[in-house]
Amino acid sequence: MDRECALLLPGVCAVLAGSGSSLPDDTSLEKLLDWFTGITEAGGSLLEACPYLLKLISTVVHNAASDPGVLSFALRLTGLLAATEESFKTIQEHSVLNEVFNLQHWQEAGLWEDPCLRIGWIQGLRSMLQHPKALSFFVQSEFIDPLLQLQTDTSLFIAAAANQMLAHILLFFQPVPPAGCKGMDKKEKDDGMTPSSTDYTAVVKAISGYLKESLVPKESKNVRQSLQTLKLLALLLAQAGPPLRDKLLQTVGDSLEELVTAGSSELTLPLMDVILSACSSSGTDERITRLLSSMLNINKPADLTHAAAAFLRRGHHDTVHTARAVRILLLPLDIMTGQTLLGTISTADEHQFSVVEQLKSKSSCISMICVCLSNTPQITLTPPDVLPCLPVSIVTAVLSLLKICSGNSPSSSTGCSEVSRNIIGSGKVQKCALEALTTLTSSPGAKERISEVFTVLIQYLENPDSDPTVLHKSYQALLKWTSVCTDFSFITDQLRHDLVEVVKKRVCDMRWEVKDSTVEFLGHLAGVCDSIKAAAEGCDASEALLGGCSTTPLLREALQDSESYVRASAISALAKTLTHRWQQGATLTEEEPEIVSRLLEILSQDSEGFPRRAVSVRSVLSQGRADLDWEVKVHTLVLAELLLDEAFSGHPGYKKGSDSHHASPNAYGALDASAAMATVSCELPGCGWGREIIKILKMKKSDQAKEEDIADQRGLNGAEEGDILTASATHTKPGEEVTEMEDDSSWVTAEIKGKRGYVPENYISLLPYPWFVGRVSRLEAEKRLRWQDTGVFLVRESESAPGEFSVSVSYGERVEHFRVLEGGGQYCIWDETFCSLNRLVDYYRTHSIAAEKLVFLRDAAASPHLLPQPGRNPYPNPYKTTSQESLLSANLYSHPPHHERESSQRLHEPVVGKPRLAHALCDYTPPHTAHLHFLRGDIIDLLDCSSLWPGGGAVEAE
């Protein structure tokens, strides 16, 4: 916050204190707290900088009409003010602490039931507990018992915050551990920072007793309490110093053994986290080792598989237990495929019979197989003395699974036909198997199966039943295996012919995702060719796979596609393909100037951003700078200067040259500047393109009215032309990870898996899935769903619990509503928790969402069949209002229209009171820690759409 804003702050505080009402955009309070936190972390005194804050807090707390959101703000602000001993003393002298954190006062006022107040109370205390005096206040006020009760709060978010609070108290104030031990938020403490041993001992005793009592559930309804306790214990054991760790293990040891013996499926993974955390910190503790052995010998196959996977993920170097975990995870694959992965039949695993029985259940079978597949790459890298088979056998098993899934090959193991049919046509298993196959290229001996790998992948590409995601992953696997191949003699004429035909077929597919993946594959294949040639001279993957078939006509046709993603992919693929040809010494063909003209047409006329960004990428300037023709270099310099003029026009201190474009510019200076500012590229040769782009820019500059019209068509909302051309314009598509961001896009604050940060607006859509209908009332949901087939559902924003969601499900003649609990980045309805709403929905498609009978979530049919009912359902399509019924039902599951996916569809409307959901259009790997990672298809909670990314300046060119 700058000085001018700081001068306005007293007035803002006076408004808050006077009315007690929350601001229209409650994120403003969050921003205030962020600013206050920044002052504190910088070493400044918040009380000295803002002495009026104490009056604000006192007034708000005593105002009976204060909004819960403002009260929560006051609680958190008080904790922030009291985070230093000096300020703590000042606040205590004014009796503010007792007024603010007085639990009895809030309960008697009837405000404690409001989640906003409870979370403010927890977070305020958490901020304050940074020094021994605060701990003494906490203990003397007897806050430990209420905090323990909040571990099982009805709000998962509050329960998670209380959980973290307990961990902070134990770890922050523990005696300074020996060098090498880590503690949560641990700071260097001098003698003046050592807490009272009496206070700390009291806290440790109370929390230890709670852990012991709450670990083992007395009834089935107490499982959630045990789950929260295990999470807390895992966190403590992972970071506690030896004295505290030993005390905790001594206290909960018997309870842990009881839990392991009970074998609760819901507690398997959190229990493994506790045991593995203890193993990491305590070394060779015999009791912990015994518990780990017990967990890897559970009688329930599904739990056993999850426990083994958890062990391998933690990367422990315990030969005995690693060998056991590997056998557990290979057993289902051995049974399903008939491959000998565990040795001879005489040495088969003792759990084989129970595993076979478990695999006969379709949902359990798919779940177990997917867990095993996701761990196969790590299994192949284990030491030879641990692995019961050769790594290449695991590759063969994965290939066999893919054949079974497609229905091309039955299981060869005796008596397992009932098991193998459970995965036939399973998209989930196919995706996991293809992901595993992609990562198995580095396994020892994997290249021995490369011919079979190519055959299976081409069969998947040919399969008309393969969904777009499966086809996309098949292309990715094919590229990965191609990149490690140096000898293509195994490619037969038939295999080559099949691949060429399937590519021609898929590039004309009705589904835009399939076309995009195919075009993208052709472009990446050219890139793979270049890398292979660099490693092994003479190998040409494109020639070997496609037999010299030119892909340029296919890509030129894709430039005319109605889908902007496909056009953008075609541009990128053409750039890579033509560059590969030119590097081989190919001469310029008649069609290539036409391609350049088409690209220039896209740059100047295309109404959507992705194709334009694909045309204007940074190599245009770098190619021109390296060209041997001096005239091409001159035109490159003129282009660079035009771009700089457009980028800096209107900026203070920049003086634009009036006639500089007509003179020969300074080559080195202009190109150095362009390298820093412009990131424009399309991998085209420098023969006339610079002059043509300059003509386009000058035409726009001479016709302002036309420029504004084009800008409106593009949805630029007043952005300068140069902002587009000078932006970091790396093209992104679904399925491709982004490593560089656009400057010209807005950034929105979001939360993913409990972590907050920034996401690029142009990679998300406000229409996540057809089943998410936003602010729809309970009554409206019932109108839409009544008399639909059982299981048809929609997800809406909850009326009774603002900030949360509800799943409304048709039972045919009636509709049931399930509240989705959210907290710490996790969502749940019953006991299963998920990192996103779409993961929750996917889970209940194969698991019953109802307790009293089997009800599986399902999508509404494109032409829904309504059950017999007394009257006509006004919503035959539950995802549309009556005014939308005139739309074609085929559009129900189509991707949002182009204008709804554009970055120009700004999200600047404020988000009031709760997150808003968005759908990730493509994978994104952030270059900065302030950005969030997400995958295509994920649902993202948007917290604040009104502010831009503070670092949204120009991105440096590489």
Of 801, 780, 783, 772, which is closest to residue 896 (Cα–Cα)?
Answer: 772
Query: 6-20, 258-272, 672-686 — which is least confidently predicted?
Result: 672-686
DSSP string, 923-951: -B--SSTTB--B-TT-EEEEEE-SS--TT
Cross-strand partners of 833: 828
Q: Rounded to an integer, what distance in angstroms lies between the CA atom of residue 551 and that of residue 612?
A: 22
> pLDDT tier at 373 (50, 70, 90 boundaries)?
very high
Residues 485, 450 contacting (CB under 8 angstroms): yes
> pLDDT tier at 525 (50, 70, 90 boundaries)?
confident
**What is the b/e burial string over 120-139, where b = at least 16 CB atoms within 10 angstroms of the residue's CB?**
bbbbbbbbbbbbbbbbebbb
C-alpha atoms less than 13 angstroms from C-alpha of 93 in its C-beta half-sphere? 6
Tokens standing for residue 708: 């504004």
Supply the CATH classification number for the domain 772-895. Answer: 3.30.505.10
Asked if pLDDT for residue 99 goes beyond 80, the answer is: yes
Of 398, 406, 353, which is closest to residue 380 (Cα–Cα)?
Answer: 398
Q: Distances from the Cα of 610 to the Cαs of 245, 475, 845, in angstroms?
A: 54, 22, 34
Residues 678, 723 contacting (CB under 8 angstroms): no
> pLDDT tier at 372 (50, 70, 90 boundaries)?
very high
pLDDT tens-digit profile of 451-484? Answer: 999 999 999 999 988 889 999 999 999 999 988 8
Query: 354-368, 423-437, 529-543, 658-672 — which is least confidently predicted?
Result: 658-672
Of 127, 119, 226, 159, which is closest to residue 823 (Cα–Cα)?
Answer: 159
Q: How many Cβ atoms are within 10 Å of 377's Cβ, its own excluded?
A: 20
Burial bucket for residue 180 (CB in 10 Å: 0-12, 13-18, 19+): exposed
Q: Rounded to an integer, what distance in angstroms lies between the CA atom of residue 718 and that of residue 739?
A: 27
**3 state SS of 47:** helix
Q: How many Cβ atoms are within 10 Å of 234's Cβ, its own excluded?
A: 20
Q: Rounded to an integer, what distance in angstroms lies between the CA atom of residue 78 and that of residue 117?
A: 13
Of 283, 389, 287, which is closest to residue 334 (Cα–Cα)?
Answer: 389
Q: Distances from the Cα of 649 to the Cαs of 55, 309, 320, 629, in angstroms?
A: 47, 57, 68, 30
Would strands 747-752 and 916-920 be described as parallel, antiparallel, or unpaired? unpaired
Q: Rounded to an integer, what distance in angstroms lies between the CA atom of residue 910 and that of residue 617?
A: 33
State the chain's mean pLDDT as an integer: 74
pLDDT tens-digit profile of 410-432? Answer: 544 444 677 888 898 888 999 99
Burial bucket for residue 532 (CB in 10 Å: 0-12, 13-18, 19+): buried
Question: What is the 8-class DSSP label of residue 858?
Answer: B
Q: How many Cβ atoms are within 10 Å of 746's Cβ, its own excluded?
A: 21
Asked if pLDDT for residue 895 goes beyond 60, the answer is: no
Tokens standing for residue 515: 């076309």
CA–centroid distance for 746 within its chain: 19
Q: Distances from the Cα of 402 to the Cαs of 314, 332, 548, in angstroms?
A: 28, 15, 29
> Which residue reads 């194709």 in tokens?
611
Burial bucket for residue 89 (CB in 10 Å: 0-12, 13-18, 19+): exposed
Q: Rounded to an integer, what distance in angstroms lies between the CA atom of residue 601 and that of residue 50?
A: 57
What pLDDT was estimated at residue 824?
A: 55
Strand order in the sheet with 764-765: 755-760, 747-752, 939-944, 916-920, 764-765
Provide the residue type at 76 as one letter. Answer: R
Helix H or strand E encompassing 829 = none
Q: How many Cβ atoms are within 10 Å of 657's Cβ, its own excluded?
A: 11
Q: How many Cβ atoms are within 10 Å of 409's Cβ, its own excluded?
A: 17
End-to-end Cα separation, the chain, in angstroms: 32
Q: Rounded to an integer, what distance in angstroms lies between the CA atom of residue 203 and that of residue 189?
A: 19
Of 686, 568, 575, which is closest to residue 635 (Cα–Cα)?
Answer: 686
Of 954, 950, 956, 955, which is closest to residue 931 (Cα–Cα)?
Answer: 950
Tokens standing for residue 130: 């940074």
Asked if pLDDT for residue 677 goes beyond 80, the answer is: no
Q: Rounded to an integer, what distance in angstroms lies between the CA atom of residue 699 and that of residue 683?
A: 24
Percent of the chain scoring above 90 in pLDDT: 16
> pLDDT tier at 725 (50, 70, 90 boundaries)?
very low
Residues 58, 103 contacting (CB under 8 angstroms): no
What pLDDT was estimated at residue 222?
A: 73
Q: Distances from the Cα of 470 to the Cαs of 425, 430, 475, 513, in angstroms?
A: 11, 7, 9, 11
pLDDT tens-digit profile of 639-653? Answer: 777 777 766 666 666
Query: 86-100, 315-329, 563-577, 830-844 — which is least confidently predicted?
Result: 830-844
Would strands 793-797 and 772-774 be described as parallel, antiparallel, or unpaired? parallel
- Would you kindly state where each structural domain of the chain is located, as residue ranges? 1-128, 143-264, 296-426, 588-731, 772-895
Residues 689, 738 contacting (CB under 8 angstroms): no
**3 state SS of 759:** strand
Asked if pLDDT for residue 339 goes beyond 80, the answer is: yes
> pLDDT tier at 368 (50, 70, 90 boundaries)?
very high
Cα-Cα-Cα-Cα torsion 240, 242, 247, 249, nearest 10 degrees, comes to 80
Instruction: Give mean pLDDT, residues 246-252.
Output: 89
Of 694, 680, 672, which is closest to residue 619 (Cα–Cα)?
Answer: 680
Instruction: Give mean pLDDT, residues 868-888.
Output: 42
Query: 176-185, 379-388, 563-572, 609-618 — which is least confidently predicted?
Result: 176-185
Asked if pLDDT for residue 948 goes beyond 70, the answer is: no
Helix H or strand E encompassing 774 = strand 772-774
Residues 137, 150 contacting (CB under 8 angstroms): no
DSSP string, 876-909: SSTTS-GGGTTS-GGGGGSPPPHHHHSTTS---S
The 3-class SS string of 830-887 reads CCCEECCHHHHHHHHHHCCCCCCCCCCCECCCCCCCCCCCCCCCCCCCCCCCHHHCCC
**3 state SS of 408:** coil
CA–centroid distance for 277 within its chain: 25
Cα-Cα-Cα-Cα torsion 463, 572, 594, 671, nearest 10 degrees, comes to -170
Provide the residue type at 173 as one letter. Answer: F
Q: Rounded to an integer, what distance in angstroms lies between the CA atom of residue 558 and that of residue 814?
A: 48
pLDDT tens-digit profile of 797-822? Answer: 876 655 678 899 998 778 888 888 77
Neighbouring residues of 657: CB distance < 8 A, sequence distance ≥ 6: 641, 645
Strand order in the sheet with 833-834: 772-774, 793-797, 805-810, 815-823, 826-828, 833-834
Helix H or strand E encompassing 657 = none
Asked if pLDDT for residue 850 goes beyond 60, the answer is: yes
Q: Rounded to an integer, what distance in angstroms lies between the CA atom of residue 599 and that of residue 605?
A: 10
The 3-class SS string of 499-525 reads HHHHHHHHCCCCCHHHHHHHHHHHHHH
